């Protein structure tokens, strides 16, 4: 962590209109898991500047991040190469302007940044201000808009509304067929497409499945048949290679996934990102945010509440945050690991446990959400849940885990010569 920095304040006039700085963001249009380079040139040498990113979300909230920089003797600031001396991030952080985004002061509480319309990009304005003081009252010297996309060019998005099944299917461009992935989210409900769109951009036919609407849960929605049906719709799709289908899930979805892979003989690979249940052992922290961690700990003591993971026959990747305040992810992973090892299935299991990382392990550069609003599906009540994690380690975990997830998927769904275990 950087302490206060001393530097000699050069009596430069700072930037004026007659010597306009040059700001570039490359690439200016990128997928959300791609890095960019932010470079400023033509600045007065060894002078203080603040770079700020601003995003206006679909929900109408403003998110910002900023870093304080000092130009070098050639009048240049390079976010990829220079140190941020503070702000919402510090140190050498090429993507700090994205992953440290947070609601601007005065915003509503419990916000979480999630893109609903994946057919349009997130628009982020990157601006440069003179000095290191509060920039909010000043005009930027120069700014640039950059687009961050979940969907690559040529990806097809198809809404699934036939019969019982609700979701969105994403198909990559090209002749196909492709490996398929069923994408299951968690206790917040609704239909979240962004991870599926991104996986399609990485070469998979991906079905984002809605299994209950926000705030409502019907017992039929959670039936095994609903998910098996979804799995078959995916597997039987003409653009999908039927013996190369996997599942990715987070939170509540992982229970479903484990159930599916344990009880079904067909699923090729599955990947879980933490988990949750809902019970009465909820604590509340100093901010009145709910901590559900202990719910899970209690649950782990109840064999009847657990999926029999000894029956799993496909490779399984568990991604856990060690500071998950919503679910005891690490303890759960320990339990799964113990059971699978005892059953001789330990070779199927891979675990990634990330220190100081919370519950919501999202695609890279997504802003860290330490606590968020959620509508309880049982009571339709809005509460704030604490998810845990410290921003920088959590963001690093998102970056690292995404690459490892993609490599796990690629290894088993693209490269593997064997169709099934």
Partner 1 sequence: MDEKRCCVTLSVQPSRGLVDEKFVILVQNSFPSSLLTLYAHHQCEDGYSWHAFAHYTSDATGAVNGVGSYPRCQTHSHVTRNADSFSCFFAFHFTVSEDCSTGGTYSGVEAMGLLWSLKPVPGSKPGLRMRKKNVQAPMVVTISVYSGHLTEGFEDQVPLAGVEVERWYMAPGVRRIPVTEDGLTATLFLPSGPGPFPGLLDLWGGGGQLVEYRAALLASHGIASMAIDYLTCKYTMETGKIVEQDYFEMAYKFLQKHPKVLGSRIAMLGLSLGTSVILKMAVHSQIVKLSCAVCVSGSHVQPMDGFLKEMVDYLGENCGNARFTEDNEVVWRDVLLPIPTDLSLKVDVGKLQCPLMLIVGEDDQNWCAYESAMDMKGMMERAGNNHLLTLLSYPNAGHLIEPPYMPHARVSHFRDVLSQQKMMVLWGGQTLEHSRAQEDAWRKLLVFLRKNLYSGAKSGSLSLSNL
Interface residues with partner 1 (CB under 8 A)? 12, 15, 17-20, 22-24, 26-31, 34, 39, 41-45, 71, 73-76, 121, 123, 125, 127, 139-140, 142-147, 149, 152-154, 172-175, 177, 179, 201, 203, 241-244, 410, 414-415, 417
Least Å distance between CB 254 and partner 1? 27
Q: Catalytic residue, from 206, 324, 368, 399: name it.
A: 324
Pick between residue 173 and residue 355 the one whose CB is nearest to partner 1: 173
Pick between residue 111 and residue 413 the one whose CB is nearest to partner 1: 413
Least Å distance between CB 19 and partner 1? 4
Q: Catalytic residue, from 132, 359, 368, 412: name it.
A: 359
Pick between residue 6 and residue 73 the one whose CB is nearest to partner 1: 73
Alpha-carbon gap, residue 132 to 151, rounded angstroms: 36
Alpha-carbon gap, residue 198 to 193, rounded angstroms: 9
Alpha-carbon gap, residue 328 to 11, rounded angstroms: 54
Give kind and range of the element (H or E) at residue 355: none
Pick between residue 30 and residue 262 the one whose CB is nearest to partner 1: 30
Maximum CA extent, the chain: 73
- Active site (annotated) includes residue 251: yes
Q: Catalytic residue, from 15, 82, 237, 251: name it.
A: 251
Q: CB under 8 Å to 107, separation ≥6 — which residues?
A: 61, 62
Residue 50 phi/psi, 5-degree rounding, is: -120, 130
DSSP state of 414: I
Pick between residue 91 and residue 173 the one whose CB is nearest to partner 1: 173
- The DSSP bridge partners found for residue 180 are 205, 245
Least Å distance between CB 148 and partner 1? 10
Instruction: Sheet containing 349-354: give its strands across.
Output: 156-160, 166-171, 205-210, 178-184, 240-251, 269-275, 316-321, 349-354
Pick between residue 243 and residue 308 the one whose CB is nearest to partner 1: 243
Least Å distance between CB 238 and partner 1? 12
Alpha-carbon gap, residue 417 to 421, rounded angstroms: 11
Q: CB under 8 Å to 247, separation ≥6 — which residues?
A: 181, 182, 183, 184, 231, 257, 260, 261, 267, 269, 270, 271
Give the 3-state secondary structure of residue 157. strand
- Active site (annotated) includes residue 394: no
- Active site (annotated) includes residue 322: no
Least Å distance between CB 268 and partner 1? 13
Least Å distance between CB 235 and partner 1? 12
Show which residues are catalytic. Answer: 251, 324, 359
């Amino acid at each position: 962590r950087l302490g206060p920095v001393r530097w000699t304040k050069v009596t430069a006039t700072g930037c004026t209109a007659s010597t306009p700085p040059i700001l570039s963001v490359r690439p200016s249009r990128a997928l959300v898991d791609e890095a960019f380079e932010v470079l400023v040139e033509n600045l007065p040498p060894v002078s203080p500047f603040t770079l700020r990113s601003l995003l206006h979300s679909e929900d109408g909230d403003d998110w910002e991040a900023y870093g304080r920089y000092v130009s070098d003797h050639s009048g240049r600031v390079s976010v990829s190469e220079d140190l941020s001396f503070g702000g919402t991030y510090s140190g050498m952080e090429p993507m700090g302007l994205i992953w440290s985004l947070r609601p601007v002061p005065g915003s509503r509480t419990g916000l979480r940044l999630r893109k609903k319309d994946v057919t349009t990009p997130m628009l982020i304005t990157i601006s440069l201000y003179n000095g290191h003081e509060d920039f909010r009252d000043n005009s930027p010297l120069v700014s640039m808009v950059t687009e961050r996309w979940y969907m690559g060019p040529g990806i097809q998005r198809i809404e699934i509304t036939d019969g019982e099944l609700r979701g969105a299917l994403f198909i990559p461009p090209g002749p196909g067929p492709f490996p398929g992935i069923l994408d299951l989210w968690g206790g917040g409900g609704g239909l979240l497409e962004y991870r599926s769109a991104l996986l399609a951009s990485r070469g998979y036919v991906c079905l984002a499945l809605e299994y209950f609407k926000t705030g409502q849960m019907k017992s039929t929605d959670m039936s095994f048949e609903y998910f098996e049906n979804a799995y078959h719709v995916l597997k039987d799709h003409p653009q999908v290679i039927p013996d190369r289908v996997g599942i990715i899930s987070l939170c509540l979805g992982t229970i479903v996934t484990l159930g599916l892979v344990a009880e079904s003989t067909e699923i090729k690979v599955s990947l879980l990102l933490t988990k949750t249940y809902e019970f009465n052992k909820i604590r509340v922290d100093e901010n009145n945010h709910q901590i559900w961690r202990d719910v899970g700990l209690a649950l782990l003591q109840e064999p009847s509440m657990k999926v029999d993971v000894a029956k799993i026959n496909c490779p399984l990747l568990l991604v856990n945050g060690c500071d998950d305040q919503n679910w005891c992810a690490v303890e759960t992973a320990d339990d799964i690991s113990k059971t699978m090892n005892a059953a001789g299935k330990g070779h199927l299991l891979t675990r990634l446990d990330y220190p100081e990382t919370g519950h919501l392990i999202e695609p890279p550069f997504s802003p860290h959400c330490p606590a968020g609003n959620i509508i309880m599906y049982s009571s339709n009540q809005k509460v704030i849940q604490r998810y845990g994690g410290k921003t920088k380690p959590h963001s690093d975990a998102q970056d690292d885990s995404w690459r490892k997830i993609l490599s796990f998927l690629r290894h088993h769904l693209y490269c593997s010569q064997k169709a099934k275990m």
